[in-house]
Chain A
Amino acid sequence: MFQSLGTVVEHYVLIAGVIFTLGAIGFLVRRNVLVQLMSIELMLNAVNLALVAFNRAYPGNMTGQIFAFFIIAVAAAEAAVGLAIVLAFYRLKGTVMSDEGDQLKL
């Protein structure tokens, strides 16, 4: 079925895969919480791109594109809560590096 998607769709899906991987690597490697948040946004946008691209292969419905809208809305809510948590963390610790959170241990 993947072959039937056509070259254009295939390219978009490949790009989405690359962006998603970059986001995942960024999340795992970087320690700055703000960069980690941006990496998560990158991953979510890669998902949107993949959904919209796949939707071209199924012209009978708009599921993929509608799904992308929902992801955009929820990602905004998630960023709002996330930034609030980062702000609380920064006020108490004076840093936004996630490896400074080391009070909870065995």
Chain B
Amino acid sequence: MNVLVPAAPILIVAIGALLLMLAEAFGSPAKAAEAGEGVAALDAGAGRSAELALGASVILFAGAIVSLAVWWAGAVDTALPGLAPYLVMDRFSLFFCFTLCLGGALSALLAGGYLPEHGLDRGEFFPLILFATVGSMALAAAGDLLTLFIALETMSLGAYCMIGLRRGSARASEAALKYFLLGSFAAALLLFGGALLYGATGHTDLAGIGTALRGMLGQPNGGTALAIAGVVLMLVGLVFKISAVPFHMWTPDAYEGAPTPTTTFMAVAIKTAAFAVLLRVVLTSFGSTELVSWGTGWPPVLAVLAVLSMTVANLIAGRQSSVKRMLAYSSIAHAGYALIGLIAAAEKPELSASVLYYMLAYTVSTAGAFGTLVLCGSRGAEAVSYADLAGLGKRHPPAALAFSLFLLSLAGAPPTAGFFGKLYVFSAAMTAAAQNPAIYVLVVVGLLNSVLGAYYYLRVLVFMYMREPEPGAPIAKPMRSGYVGFSLALAAILVLALGIWPDSSLDVARAATLTGGP
């Protein structure tokens, strides 16, 4: 089979990114000078956010549609000549390529409204978001430590630049600095883990590592110590990217300091890609019987992380005064819920379908929630705190209605995508618990946390519908932008569609699961 066909989703976004970079660099500076209000006139891309956002989102939607087309054409091949084992374009990769393109496109559309509104009208954001999406897609499709590392860095370097986009803001550069330092540290840990695994097994491809570890860990001698150290370091590096407690310290700061479209991209695409690669690594490379057992393997470690992520994040989220920071903590809690599905998948690999569905539901709900925050602010006054949203239900009913829908989905209320995401994760955990009763504890903790989480989501609703703004307080006015409106409408339709027809999308997720070890 032609190599180009299965790899088409990644190639389209990559080539589109290069073309958009040229379009940004060689755009007409005259036009930029007209629109350049408070923008450095040197930037050729200045003042052209709207058209670049359109280009970026068209490329990303094309990537998503091509992923679907490749899926339906059945053009999936796990051993592509010249690509294997570096890129594995199976249904699992295609599912995540679709989700990541969707998340990236929603963020790019939000940026098309946000950047001009807040005096950040600089074109480099859009090539960066495309390159970061290429990195995240390659990360989801990575079948070798080499691709994994390069894709991870491609994704992260783009994100660092997008966080620091507002160069004049001390908060933005502080956020970028914190994320950069901790991200590079985690990448170095991951690499050293990879080097140790290479030393222990002689392989850098994930399937080869899995086969070699399977034979190795049963014996008392051999490179066991080396392999175990490698597994631990790899897991730390990956868990950092999904921002599970206690590796979450960067998350609230980076999410709060970044421009909101960047925050959306980080919450949506980076977390989803990190979950994809975590699933593939733990099920393909660390899928041997010893490593998935609760006595000697990784599931109890990740279970502790899941419990901590949900509980700590939910407790802290309730005490925030900034809605943006609250959503950052909520994204940490959601990493905890999704980890429950991952632990269930350790018992039966096909249960990982719940994680896939969860990430899709989480993508549309979170993109919508951050998108409404973008919508609610306008020039000079971003809506970030609860007080900014007071009385929104009266002042701007459509925005309040959309925000309510996305928050209810995040809280897990039916009939939204978030409800079925939680339902499938918990029912997968119940199935797995039949084999291993320890997982019941996770289900109970997860359910209690869902109740705890509902508190701070509903608090936003209380502010929107039952409070009036303080007299004299600066009121954030909702902006008018077709891009943001379209992005929110699409997210809202998907949240409802996934909630009304959950079975068909779960069937798709089931077809996309990895079949387990090599």
Contacts and interface: CB of A to CB of B under 8 A. Distances in A.
B185 A27 contact: yes
Interface of B is mostly: helix
Interface in A77-103: 77-78, 81-82, 84-86, 88-89, 92-93, 98, 101-103
Interface of B: 145-146, 149-150, 153, 157, 160-161, 164, 167-171, 173-178, 180-181, 184-185, 187-189, 191-192, 194-196, 198-200, 202, 204, 216, 221-223, 225-226, 252-253, 256-257, 316, 319-320, 325
Contacts, number: 136
B226 to A, nearest CB: 5
Contact of A43 (B146, B192, B216, B222): B192
Nearest to A63: B204
Question: What are the 5 tightest A-B residue pairs by CB atom distance, in nearest-first order?
Answer: A54-B199, A101-B174, A43-B188, A1-B223, A104-B253
Given A2-B223, A44-B191, A54-B195, A92 B200 contact: no
A98 B319 contact: no
Interface string A21-45: 0011001000001001100100110
A98 B177 contact: yes
Given A88-B173, A101-B178, A81 B161 contact: yes
B177 A70 contact: no
Contacts of B150: 70, 74
- Which one of B170, B171, B223, B325 has the greatest number of beta carbons of chain A within 10 Å? B170
Given A47-B191, A85-B173, A85-B177, A77 B167 contact: no
Contact of B198 (A16, A51, A92): A51
B153 A77 contact: yes
Contact of A23 (B146, B168, B180, B188): B188
Interface of A: 1-3, 5, 13, 16, 20, 23-24, 27, 33, 36-37, 40, 43-44, 46-47, 50-51, 53-54, 57-58, 63-64, 66-67, 70-71, 74, 77-78, 81-82, 84-86, 88-89, 92-93, 98, 101-104, 106
Contact of A50 (B153, B169, B195): B195
- Which one of B189, B195, B196 has the greatest number of beta carbons of chain A within 10 Å? B195
A104 B161 contact: no
A89 B460 CA distance: 33
A92 B170 contact: yes
A54 B103 CA distance: 40
B157 A58 contact: no
Given A13-B199, A92-B168, A103-B171, A40 B185 contact: yes
Given A36-B181, A98-B177, A67 B216 contact: no
Given A33-B177, A47-B195, A88 B185 contact: no
A50 B196 CA distance: 8
A24 to B, nearest CB: 8
B174 A104 contact: yes
B250 to A, nearest CB: 10
A50 to B, nearest CB: 4
Nearest to B175: A104
Contact of A78 (B153, B168, B171, B194): B153
B200 A2 contact: yes
A77 B157 contact: yes
A92 to B, nearest CB: 4
B178 to A, nearest CB: 6
Contacts of B170: 89, 92-93, 103
Contact of B146 (A33, A57, A70): A70
A88 B187 CA distance: 23
Contacts of B202: 57-58
- Which one of B169, B199, B325 has the greatest number of beta carbons of chain A within 10 Å? B199
Contacts of B171: 103-104
Contacts of A44: 188, 191
A47 B174 CA distance: 28
A104 B316 CA distance: 15
